[in-house]
Amino acid sequence: MYTSKITGLGHYVPENVVTNDDLSKLMDTNDAWIQERTGIQERRHIKKGDGNSTSVMGVKAATIALEEAKLKPDDIDMIVFATLSPDMYFPGGGVEVQEMMNMRTIPALDVRNQCSGFVYAMSVADQFVKTGMYKNILVIGSENHSGGLDFTTRGRSVSVIFGDGAGAAVVSRSDDKGENGILSTHLHSEGKHKDELSLQGPSTEYWVPEIIEKNPQEDIPYYPYMNGQFVFKHAIVRFTEVIHEGLKANGLSVEDIDMLIPHQANLRISQFIQQKLKLSDDQVFNNIQKYGNTTAASIPIALSEAHKAGKIKKGDLVVLAAFGSGFTWGSVIVRW
């Protein structure tokens, strides 16, 4: 078995900043209401005509990650692309990235695990690298939420939360048999709660004719639905469980954590987990205040920012953890 290491990181967010005050002009909300419930102050949204899309942002983040890893597109053996908002219903974003970056005929795999998407994608990459099948894998998390949100008062509880952006990581094979690299990954799901955070249409069960005929006054299933309190209560339990699971698997404890990067779902969730684990502010990285919840992109954006800011050093124990729709959750334990 080989060791897999993160050798390059990159992220990209659109230039268009959307503040809470901007949203208050579209719906019955205000800055204090949003910050109190989510901690979010602003987010980035794709602006029509700026040339961005889920795949385009993925390429921009990937280009930076490849430069940091000192690799060229031809050095990549596989793409794992995590998103809930692909440019097209099909094919997926992975093949779009492959085409845009003029890569060889390598495999391109799309992961549909929403907020846990990047953690699941990293787990896939880790297994392919550790077993020796591939040497360099490009992992991308990218989302265009703004293209599918309800920016009216009816949709405010969801629409104020989400932002657009992309993050990428290069996972590479290392012959180093030391303790550095991805130590382990841990994945879970609980499908009985699938409806508590979901987007049920458009789908093959609810397609264009049904959408056209839908009474505008009825609940509209082609906008996201979230049972906020229910999700919050489950998230804080599963986050804690899967972090402890990863640490235990490697003979580690909470005291060994140098940096925890949680999925940026809600600042209140991150703060609760921080308090429960008794971690200092220097041991947890949050950027939801600036970007909102970018779902599959949130962990790679935060990881890239933290690394570039010098908050992650060689030898540090870094823990990535996510919880989201499905319900799905997971963790990645990394010795940097």
Residues marked as catalytic: 115, 263, 293
Distance from C-alpha of 72 to C-alpha of 122, rounded to nearest angstrom: 20
Instruction: Give the dihedral sign, CA 262/263/266/267.
Output: positive
Angle ∠(8,12,197) on CA atoms, nearest 5: 100
| Chain position carrying tokens 């002009």 | 25
Kindly list the distances between the CA atom of residue 333 and the CA atoms of 231, 260, 328, in Å, as whole numbers in the listed order: 24, 10, 17
Token pair recorded at residue 192: 């009985």
Helix extents (H) in the chain: 20-24, 31-38, 54-69, 93-100, 117-130, 156-159, 208-213, 228-249, 267-277, 288-291, 298-308
- What does the alpha-carbon distance between residue 112 and residue 104 come to, in Å, rounded to a whole number? 24
What is the DSSP pairing of strand 259-262 with strand 328-335?
unpaired
